[in-house]
Homo-oligomer: A and B are copies of this chain.
Amino acid sequence: MTSTQRVPLHDDLDVGDLTKAIENFNRYYIRLPTVQKLSFTTLSVLDTLAHGGPKRLTELARTEQISQPGLTQLVTRLERDGLVERRPDPTDGRAVLVHITDRGRRIGQARHEDRGRHLLPLIARLTPAERRAIAAALPALSRLAELGSQTGR
């Protein structure tokens, strides 16, 4: 069978267009060299902790889509490097709460600003109308992400 399976569309926003644009963008964006040599998962965990506060190992493993042992090892490495801390959960003796440290927070932010620096000259080359179009879409994109993270559990 060669017929392309068609996903139903909204008349105001084609899902295929969205995924294609995002993937084009990400192919460039994800590969941006980072100052520190930290894996994608590592940075994502730091980001999640920085924005969402302390989390259990199990919960992190779910949101980051890696196995629980994989996350235990990752947290062990992060703790060794002083980017996070394990603290007991006062409400559950089995659980551990992973806290981000100031150092970890700074690393996440450094990467963030680093990417901004890469993007800036590109943005300068867009037309004002293109810049406004992107700016106008950002709140909606963030809301989409929020809806996604709520659903996915």
| Residues of chain A at the chain B interface (Cβ within 8 Å) | 4-5, 7-8, 10, 12-31, 33, 40, 44, 47-48, 51, 63-65, 109, 112-113, 115-126, 128, 130-149, 151-152
Q: Tell whether, in the assembled complex, residue A31 and residue B64 are in contact, meaning their CB atoms are under 8 Å apart.
A: yes
Q: Which residue in chain B gives the minimum CB-CB distance to A7?
A: B116
Contacts of A136 in B (CB 8 A): 133, 136-137
Given A28-B149, A117-B7, are A13 and B131 neighbors across the interface (CB < 8 Å)? yes
- How far apart are A145's CB and chain B's nearest CB, in angstroms? 4
Q: CB-CB < 8 A to A115: which residues of B?
A: 19
Given contacts A26-B26, A28-B148, A116-B7, contact A18 B134 (CB under 8 A): yes
Which of B10, B126, B132, B140 contacts A143 (CB under 8 A)? Answer: B126
Collect the chain B residues with CB atoms within 8 Å of residue A40's CB. 30, 40
> CA–CA, A125 to B10, complex, Å?
11
- Across-interface contacts of A27 in B (CB, < 8 A): 44, 47-48, 145, 149
